Structure 1
Amino acid sequence: MPLPEHPRPDVERANWLNLNGLWSFRFDPNDQGLQQRWFSGTQQFPLSINVPFPWGAPLSGVKDEADIAWYQRTITVPANWKGQRVFLTIGASDWLTTVWLDGQELGKHQGGYTPFSFELTRFLKPGQPQKLVVRVDDKRRDFTLYGKQGYGNARGIWQTIYLESRGDAYLDALHFTPDIDKNKVRVTAYLPEAAQKDLRLNLRINTNNGPITATQNIPKGRQQVAFEVAIPNARRWTLDDPYLHTVEARLSGGGTTDDVLNSYFGMRKISVMDMPGTNIPYVALNNEPVYLQLALDQSYHPEGYYTFPSDAFMRNEILLARQIGLNGIRTHIKADIPRKLYWADKLGVLVMSDLPNSWGQPDEPMQKESEYTLREMIKRDYNHPAIFSWITFNETWGLTTKKKVNGKEVAEYTPETQKWVASVYRLAKSLDSTRIVEDNSVCCGRGHTETDLNSWHEYLPGYGWEEHLAKLTKNLYPGSAANFEKGYQQARQPNINSEFGNVWGYDGSTGDVDYTYDYHRAINTFRKYPQVAGWLYTEHHDVINEWNGYYRYDRTEKMTGLDELVPGMSLRDFHAPLYISTGQDITRTVKPGTTAAVPLFASFMTGRNDLGNSLVVSAKLYGWDALGQEKTWWMSDKDIPYQPWMQRALDSLRVPIPNEKSVAILALQLKDRSGTVHHRNFMTFVVDAPAPRELALADGRKARLIQFPVASFKDANWSRKQWNVLDGKKVNGAGSGYFEYRVAVPRDINLANVAMASLVMEAGAKQLFGKDMGDGKIEGDYMLGRGTADPSRNPNAYPQTDETRFPSAVTVWVNGENSGRYDLPDDPGDHRGILSWHAQPQNRKLNEAGSYGYRLSVPIAAEALRKAAQTGELLIRLAVDDGLPGGLALYGSDFGRYPIDPTVVLVLK
């Protein structure tokens, strides 16, 4: 049985029966099932579907062949449920769902995201098999909340379907509103209808100090009741200690059977407050500001679409965010599955929850559907402490009205619609005054109306953040009309960049390029501008047409290379509360032998008061010389002041630049006085010096160096394609084939006086991408997920290093002598490709950014030198045979990772 766990740990009754698994199934392309009475339970349904996976999703076992489909299975209600009220609950089904039991209609439901229940009691035969039939009509309607189902449709039943028994009088909902300031919780109990007689609600709340009991009468005629329960010395729900108060609720007095359900809540508070010592508003958790570091979470699975394959997978989704140091996610354009929200509650990760959008116009049916779904979302998810924000609309999708202007059709965000959006904001606040509500997560020239957050979306190349944030923050003040629609203005809302990333930052880009280099630039810049109270990165994982995730679509790892550039560094360092920024420009070209002034900005997003009044920045300068040899040039410690929530520029760090051609990494560690490392960061220098012609070796001998440009090959032949990058900074051959160079031996070198020789170069495998085959065009509407599942067709792509390798091997021949065969494990691209990133022109296009290879040192045989003494040249052939035709990429001194051109090293006797 898939997803056997109870789907609602916050509304769980003991007597329940999971109906997930294989059901008989039948498509109804001509909509004839109702007329032919397929609901009777006597029809044969020829297919089998694995519920609750939506039809069309691979895990469902059926293809998407029609807009209407029917489900059927036999159920047997346990005999000991006799005399109890029994309900069928469907967690979610898209869109018009009708249910029958033994041919008797139980009810209909319209909507695609929230749960609904039908009572079976009067038709039940406990202990006997009965036929349950479900019809789902998912015809496309402009007003329905379709969201981004282009990534995979949520067709039909897509959340757990189950039976449960309830009391004679039962609870429709039970909401808990914590008040940490007064150590109490407000309890609101809802009945499905007015009480037929006096009822009694008994609560047992399990706390860190033992159980607390409370009793409340519900008089006849009342449909809801609210009361307060004191929770002395309550243990709070925090990100580091996400403690949940579990509850057993018993409703009695309605008849012979009580209604008993289990729930939970977290004692926590969401509010807005100024960062201490400033007048900058921040979202606060438990009266302490939170610097929001979030990921946009499309919450899709490649085989289940809207539905995840297991509870363990949902738990891991939350862990994937937590383990890289994020403090929240934004579930994008869908109401997420309750068990995933449960794991956010259990593990301590904040959630922004989106109302799904329509793709039609804001007409009356769309408005009605939106308001209904918002009400049901908030009703369902009210008790999840992880949810801190409701977002009612995104980028005005579904909010524009088509009009003719000067004969052309335009989409207008009308003042009337803006007023309605403001009213939906107020509706959400009336339903839940305890959370942040955002009217519209804005983009593309449109703005806010009434909102608790001043958010915006901005997708930029990494080099654009300093200019953008410098201009933007000048307009972040109460009364500013920037980022708001006409007639509305900023108040004292927290300001957050609620979507960013290089997925859309380059022309025609859909991601699938090393995100870490631009991410590094962006985060460094955000931390210099505390007026921006947080950010949201696109995205948690790749999806069909956006490949900019922290993780691949199948949730496998992407390799950043950070730990190799700076030992111990990971993505968590970019999300550290204590942060030292060197600014946007993380790579700088410098002259040899000079001194570089490195700006330092301290961004301390924490109230910790146990660190004293100073910290230490330990600096180390190391890297690679013109032969790719690792060296360390300089180390220093610098004391800096510390105060909780301190945001300020520090004195610049003066760094002595190596007096040689090199790539130098300035690694920074922020430590406390005990030596504990709280944060790591780095920037790099490209030392612009001539390549050396001669080296002095440690044993007193000399080596002569003969460099040659990587694009100076005299012959090349490749089975698939050969091409150069950025005027020959890098050369590529795909498939099998070779590059051949003729390297002249300088006349002042006597080869008879050479003790040994080698060829040093940077080389990697070379995968042939769709864009390199001249087929970079991507069709379709990105917002609906259409386009291509081949990310390599993206014109800016160079897929980031991940768990999938693309190996090759190169055989090196010098003057006809075999110098060996060398494995090239991959065709990598990540933060280690510093030179490739630094070489990019700032024109919103990428040319194999982040790509790099491996340093090879190939011995040259004495016989090859003997032949060179006769001919005056070295004939070097770099060949990939058809046994492992993974191609070959060769890097010059200003592309890749190492500052080396292919170099012949001649060690003199």
Structure 2
Amino acid sequence: MSLKKFTTAVIAVIPCFLFAQEWQPKKAVLMTKYAQDVKPDKVLAEYPRPQMQREKWMNLNGLWQFEPGKSDGETLPKGDLASKILVPFPVESALSGVMEHHERIWYKRKFIVPVSWKGEKILLHFGAVDYESEVFVNGKSLGKHTGGYDPFSFDITPYVKGSGEQELAVRVFDPTDNGGFPRGKQTLHPQGIMYTSVTGIWQTVWMEPVPQANINDIKIVPDIDKSVVKLTVSSDASGATVNVKIKEGGKEIEVASGKPNTEISVPVPNAKLWSPDSPFLYDLDISLTQNGKTTDHLSSYFGMRKISVGEEDGYKKLFLNNKFLFQLGPLDQGFWPDGGYTAPTDEALRYDLEMIKKFGYNMVRKHIKVEPYRWYYWADKLGILVWQDMPSANSYTEHTPPVDTVAYASELTRIVKTHINSPSIVTWVVFNEGQGQHNTRGLVDMVRKLDPSRLINQASGGGHFGAGDFLDIHSYPPPAVPSSKDQILACGEYGGIGFIKPGHIWKSGPTYIMIDNEKDYTDLYDQYATDLAIYRTNKGLSAAVYTEITDVEVELNGLLTYDRAVVKGAVEKISASNRKAISEKLYLKDVLPSSQNNARNWKYTFTKPDENWFAGKFNDASWKSGEGGFGTSFTPGSSVKTVWDTKDIWIRQEFTLGDLENINFDDLALYMHHDENCEVYINGVEAAVRKDVTGAYGLTPMSDASKKALIPNGKNMIAIHCHQENGGQYIDAGIVTLTKEK
């Protein structure tokens, strides 16, 4: 499916006095290469709503008048405003030409309605305005809208005067941290994992003429089991008929008719299913006829795909088109160093998704932000599954006003309704990490009623109440897997491998783990991919999300730099690791079982022992005996049997091995969970040293010398020292063989 090129689109009319004022972007700490392609007379000029396309439209992006507002009760200023701004870039962004924060903003511009639109309704559309907006045409208020992430429209026909210049004005109020509204990762005090605020118009503003008897909306639901697509076409036209044509490669394959506001099932014979490997899109022509005449016509597209919960190997699993598919993708914050929430160009918007595909991912988690329709179009076309987060309220800041629960439910409802047609969206994520979390069961039920065709993640890394389809934990830096037979198991965030590229840094800040060279970077990424393949094969894991696709301000753990100028790790290596995580079957077999499932006895001490404490013949008679694992109960991924809450612990366990002739020593590895730094010895030989932390059991390579030190048909000794710095603490280990299904 290709997006139709509209030759009849009308260029927005911008007064000469605005063009006469030279626009210059501000200089942000970093700028993307796409910034040089931003021109004030042609800003994000592509058709903004690909799934409901009409031929006639007018783009109102470009230079507008601008000035800060003064108070809540302020009336519309008369005359020209004090300055200018490039719409639709938010006021804090460099590309807006302002790069300031103001809680209140006024916008103004002039436009002319084309003569050819005479006799039709004129609709004014806003992709998104953050947060509260009031719209005026020729000084008359059309109404207010609250919510920074959903599109809205007004019928401005009654307010247009004659055929000359018309005046459009917008008042904006955005409290950011000071209101309990959905705001995602925005803050007035950027630091850590919170970023520069976004205020005002940040998606395309546009107009279109529609007939008096017109199509208001469409809803598309594919049903691959019945090989039909279900369409509901909304219209207020009385006595009208809806006519539908399905096309494949320009060829008409099916037609159907029905009534507006009623579901129409259209057969899709021998349906080509949409998937990441084959993102086939069918074209739709939809028309409205009244008294035998066509009054309205639009084009759209859809994908035949099904997302569902299946069962495999005793676990609930993610099924795409009735088959299990492990979903792996990056976290995508959707911030730009020069545009804030707004990508500089459509090419830039597409680039991030193209890189996600090149890295070998099949999914992306759109993180507590909602994108313009065109982002979802590119995800649909490229074949990338989307987990769509609801932007959270009260995200990660000390100042947390009461959550506006009504506003949260309202905006969540609108986001689901306005993005329901995109085949790429497969999961709605209601909450993230407990930020502003409330009424989880009620909101999950609400989303289920709005859209029973998709899956629902109650809370990625947040409070879990048995609601929805997922049990989703976060684990840094290595991935982890939760335990349940009743819900889909997901690791909604892991990784966060930091890698600094000088000259491409917004500002340095802490991250989960920092690497200083590309080989170690890709090796560690591959190690985590191996963990995922093990969890998928042995523990029922269905999905994982890597943090993240790009650096964002002080976060330096992206696969790309924030300016999108540097790819930190070789694409082919990351892609190979991801293919392993998605499809390779890696099986674990215990050589020395850990205490993860069944506790084993260890000797332990909290007092620093003699230097040869790790030797096989060391006298540990004075040490205590206890069951593994050792740690504190609040440590993620732990199975604590013996409390360890001091700075250090030393543990030893004697074990007997049988015949090792059938074991490939290259397949041997430690299977351990350590929080934090640890050193492991086998029969007095150093097996591994880890200077990081895990949030779950995973593989640690053993040294060749320690493998050779193992004694078959005899007694062996494993000895471990673990050191605690902060947070949770835990230590336990075993030895396994890791084999790949051939």
The interval holding the TM-score normalised by the smaller chain is 0.5 to 0.7
CA contact (8 A) 2:101 2:199 kept: no
Write the mapping of 1:72-91 to structure 2, written as runs, cut at 5 A: 72-91=108-127
Q: 2:223 aligns with which of 179, 182, 192?
A: 179
CA contact (8 A) 2:331 2:545 kept: yes
Closer, same or farther in 2 for the Cα pair 1:264/1:126, shift >3 Å?
A: farther
Structure 2: distance between partners of 1:682 and 1:311: 43
Tell me how far 1:287 sits from its aligned partner: 1.0
Tell me how far 1:558 sits from its aligned partner: 3.6
Which residue of the partner structure matches residue 359 of structure 1? 394
Structure 2: distance between partners of 1:529 and 1:516: 20
CA contact (8 A) 1:101 1:120 kept: yes
Tell me how far 1:159 sits from its aligned partner: 0.3
Tell me how far 1:367 sits from its aligned partner: 1.7
**1:60 matched to 2:96:** yes
> Radius of gyration: which is bigger?
1
Structure 1: distance between partners of 2:73 and 2:444: 42
**1:652 matched to 2:654:** no
Closer, same or farther in 2 for the Cα pair 1:52/1:434, shift >3 Å?
A: same
Which residue of the partner structure matches residue 282 of structure 1? 317
Q: Residue type of the partner of 1:212?
A: E
Structure 2: distance between partners of 1:280 and 1:573: 24
| TM-score normalised to structure 1 length | 0.56
**1:437 matched to 2:481:** no
Q: 1:575 aligns with which of 576, 579, 582?
A: 579
**1:200 matched to 2:200:** no
Q: Residue type of the partner of 2:148?
A: G
Closer, same or farther in 2 for the Cα pair 1:105/1:198, shift >3 Å?
A: same
Structure 2: distance between partners of 1:362 and 1:368: 16
CA contact (8 A) 2:61 2:206 kept: yes
Q: Residue type of the partner of 2:430?
A: T
SS in structure 2 of the partner of residue 165 of structure 1: strand
Q: 1:107 aligns with which of 126, 139, 143?
A: 143
SS in structure 2 of the partner of residue 441 of structure 1: coil
Q: Residue type of the partner of 1:162?
A: W
Which residue of the partner structure matches residue 456 of structure 1? 473
Write the mapping of 1:671-750 to structure 2, written as runs, cut at 5 A: none
Closer, same or farther in 2 for the Cα pair 1:569/1:25, shift >3 Å?
A: closer
Closer, same or farther in 2 for the Cα pair 1:557/1:197, shift >3 Å?
A: same
Identity %: 31
Which residue of the partner structure matches residue 533 of structure 1? 542
CA contact (8 A) 2:394 2:403 kept: no
Structure 2: distance between partners of 1:257 and 1:654: 71
Which residue of the partner structure matches residue 344 of structure 2? 309
SS in structure 2 of the partner of residue 527 of structure 1: helix
Write the mapping of 1:256-295 to structure 2, written as runs, cut at 5 A: 258-275=295-312, 278-295=313-330
Q: Residue type of the partner of 2:535?
A: Y
Tell me how far 1:30 sits from its aligned partner: 4.1
Tell me how far 1:555 sits from its aligned partner: 1.7
SS in structure 2 of the partner of residue 66 of structure 1: coil
CA contact (8 A) 2:458 2:464 kept: no
Q: Residue type of the partner of 1:115?
A: P
What value does the CA root-mean-square deviation take over the aligned residues? 3.2
**1:128 matched to 2:164:** yes
Which residue of the partner structure matches residue 355 of structure 2? 320
Tell me how far 1:253 sits from its aligned partner: 2.4
SS in structure 1 of the partner of residue 534 of structure 2: coil
Q: 1:422 aligns with which of 441, 446, 452?
A: 441
Tell me how far 1:274 sits from its aligned partner: 2.5
CA contact (8 A) 2:534 2:585 kept: no
Q: 2:551 aligns with which of 536, 542, 553?
A: 542
Q: Deviations over 1:492-529 (max 9, x none)?
A: x2201111114599x96355535534332222122122
Q: Residue type of the partner of 2:579?
A: H
Q: 2:233 aligns with which of 163, 185, 189?
A: 189
Closer, same or farther in 2 for the Cα pair 1:580/1:265, shift >3 Å?
A: closer
CA contact (8 A) 1:452 1:494 kept: yes
Which residue of the partner structure matches residue 557 of structure 1? 566
Q: Residue type of the partner of 2:121?
A: R
SS in structure 1 of the partner of residue 348 of structure 2: helix
Closer, same or farther in 2 for the Cα pair 1:111/1:494, shift >3 Å?
A: same
Tell me how far 1:421 sits from its aligned partner: 1.4
SS in structure 2 of the partner of residue 528 of structure 1: helix
Structure 1: distance between partners of 2:282 and 2:79: 48
Structure 2: distance between partners of 1:344 and 1:173: 21
Q: 1:217 aligns with which of 259, 268, 280?
A: 259
**1:345 matched to 2:374:** no
- Bigger mean CA offset, 181-190 vs 208-217: 208-217
Residues paired across the two proteins, number: 540
CA contact (8 A) 1:333 1:354 kept: yes
CA contact (8 A) 2:65 2:107 kept: yes
Structure 1: distance between partners of 2:82 and 2:513: 42
Q: Deviations over 1:596-644 (max 9, x none)?
A: xxxxxxxxxxxxxxxxxxxxxxxxxxxxxxxxxxxxxxxxxxxxxxxxx
SS in structure 2 of the partner of residue 430 of structure 1: helix
Structure 2: distance between partners of 1:214 and 1:651: 64
Q: 1:144 aligns with which of 157, 165, 181?
A: 181
Closer, same or farther in 2 for the Cα pair 1:455/1:84, shift >3 Å?
A: same
SS in structure 2 of the partner of residue 252 of structure 1: strand
Structure 2: distance between partners of 1:13 and 1:196: 18
Q: Deviations over 1:671-717 (max 9, x none)?
A: xxxxxxxxxx99796779xxxxxxxxxxxxxxxxxxxxxxxxxxxxx
Structure 2: distance between partners of 1:152 and 1:198: 51
Structure 2: distance between partners of 1:117 and 1:421: 30
Structure 2: distance between partners of 1:512 and 1:302: 22
Q: 2:528 aligns with which of 522, 527, 536?
A: 522
Q: Residue type of the partner of 2:469?
A: D
